[in-house]
Structure 1
Amino acid sequence: MHLVHSSANYSSDPFVNALPSPVPKIRFIRSCSSALAPSTLERLEKAFGTPVLEARIPGTVGVGIGVEVSIRDDSGQEVKRGEIGEVCVRGSNVTKGYWNNEKANKESFWKGRWFRTGDQGMIIPEPSAPHLKLTGRIKELINRGGEKIAPPEVDAALLSIPGVHEAVTFGVPDQKYGEVVWAGVVLDPEHKGAGNQEGERIRRALLPKISKFKIPDKIIITDKIPKTATGKVQRRHVRDAFIKIAEGKAKL
């Protein structure tokens, strides 16, 4: 083993930007604790030329510790393992409610004191331990003519395409469908400069990876994706910024 690096998601991005030269030859990278964002995982694998192995069942966040976890549908009924719904939790360390806010309490809990987290996910069918897989934030789901699209799924598909360095997917209001899918993409240096041609190449490359209705109607090639001070992407802010760019009213 030539190199061991342990980090949370926030510190891994600057680390990738300051790699030693030559890049050490390592067999794998192991990710522990906080799950890596798909974009960070992709960047680590590209930078080191080796797989990132999650110290949990790959693609899951593990088993709830100190809480019960239940996946529920829009009516509050528990769904079967393997089915997607809202992640709900309860336990002695879960909030009992909001102070002097009955409306928020009514909206935030299902019968049986199940707290609604706002996350979408599933309990994977195997193994016997209830490993939780998160698929997105419910408020961030894109509703394209009744079809629900989870932005992280499209992000992951975009990041699997050669030449894509960073990607973020978001919904944009549309008169016909209610919402349509847009994406902002940062290209690797060797792919920059092609503009619209690269956008069309990426859309074609998505066809065998995700359903056609999930493919972004518009891909905006940009030099950077807006992030918070802690390095996180807030899709609603990204959406507003890229709409202004598309309208020619702003630049990043």
Structure 2
Amino acid sequence: MLQPTHVRPSVLLDGVRYPDEDRLRQYVADGYLSTETLAGAFRQSFRDHKDRLALVGPEGEFTYQAFDEQTERLGAALLALGLRPLDRAIFQCGNCNELLLAFFGCLKAGIIPLCSLQAFRKLEISYLGKLCNARLHFVQGDDPKFDDVAFAEAMQAEVPSLAFILQARGTRRGSAVLLADLIRDMPLGRAQAILADVTHEPFQAAVFQLSGGTTGVPKIIPRFQNEYLYNMRAVAQWNRYTADDVLFFPTPYMHNLNMGCFFGPFLLSGAAVTVAPDLSEDTLQALVRDYEPTWFGVAGPILNRIAPVLLRSTPAERARRNFIVPKNAANLTRLTGSPAHHIFGMTEGVIMFTRPEDPQEIREQSVGCPVSAADEVRIVHPGTEDEVPEGEAGEALFRGPYTIRGYYKSEKEDGTRFTADGFYRSGDLMSSDVVAGKRYYFFRGRIKDVVDRGGEKINAEELENVINEHPAVLATSVVGMPDKVYGERVCAFVLLKPDAAASGLTLPALTQFLQEAGLAKFKWPERLEIISEFPLTASGKLSKVLLRDRIVQLLQAETDQDAVEQSQ
């Protein structure tokens, strides 16, 4: 076993800011971080639970043993193909068995997945691929709406380092290699011999996650072998996951929320993960009926699609279910008859949950407590390090064993994102209170300029920058407008250039422009408001608060008008 003084990997990756050595040694000495690796812990779990079901769903079931063997064969096949440990692989695939096979195959081979979104297009993939010198592009291959293999081939011209295209499923096309073919052609014995030569180090980067960010395109967040493992184990222990649990959480697997808090901890616990290859009512309802999940994540429209099954449940079925939501737990409990728990978390680090034994007002109003006793939280006046008085809202600063110390290739900008002593400036507003001798935290809003559309964080500045490139646009301001299904949708307020004002600009014309620019569709505005001037604050700055108020008033006026017309 390594000693606490050995907290540096043998290879330091360019652009990765490794955590402070003294603090790492302390976390190891205090028993928070171990000298285990994420890859090693998963491999051990797969073998400890070999006869249990790991993945279940309409496209087939995998026992832990079968999943272990196929990921061994795939990981070795990727190395035999020409990839090397610590190479980066862009993941751009929807939820399916093959996505999880590829993720754990890369993890075993020491290849670092960059967890992008299936919806990303040229702007995002070319930027991220160049930034991290990715060598593999992993795409789904059977998306009926988008030829992602052809897109990956086009990205090879944009990102010279992209030497390989891995196709998850469907009929092999173009220059891609098919995942099933790699597994088929790699014998298990040979695979195990190849992987035996791969060295995993506890303090090395294991996964590149992405931040929703407050400026520009998403930033890369390195997550390290032992700290990501600690993150997952701390969540599993906090929520008391067991091998008898079943997960229903059909958000993208590559999101940190799902990986770090749900499918990752579940597979470390020997539990079963339901896999939904699509989000149709039939698929989702069948998963709930057939596999009786015990833990649910149901943001956005997913709840509406499974509600008929939930509402027909027996009292015993409702009692064994748990729901995870960022807010409105009391309403969800009233609807489903099952316990609902609030969560607060960020890809950069700290995670909080409420628990069943918390007082009712805490379960309904707060986001609970951090999952680690070593998580440190300070609440300060925004932009300062001056703490607010007890009970008042301020910006939350975080530091702990699984909170990052810096973004990838971003050391210069990190000076404004981290305090000198390593606290991460979250951009989120919080307050705290001590109830029954325990400190709880309350989410009070965001400083960050992002729109949260059903869990997808849309960076306002990134979208504004692209809209501003339209030849008719003088300036843009993007805000979130309230929505009953998604929480928020994107509204773009636009000032037109004088010579374009007469011809106007329509939402379809704008979205066509954004499509041609290569911007992911989920970021497109769903409402366009042409205005003659932006509202300003007393200091002369554009006021997004007033713009949000304006769109709320417009939506309410339209609702009132519809009600009047329906009553006539």
- Using the size of structure 2 for normalisation, the TM-score is 0.24
- Answer with 1 or 2: which has the greater Rg: 2
- Using the size of structure 1 for normalisation, the TM-score is 0.50
Bigger strand fraction = 1
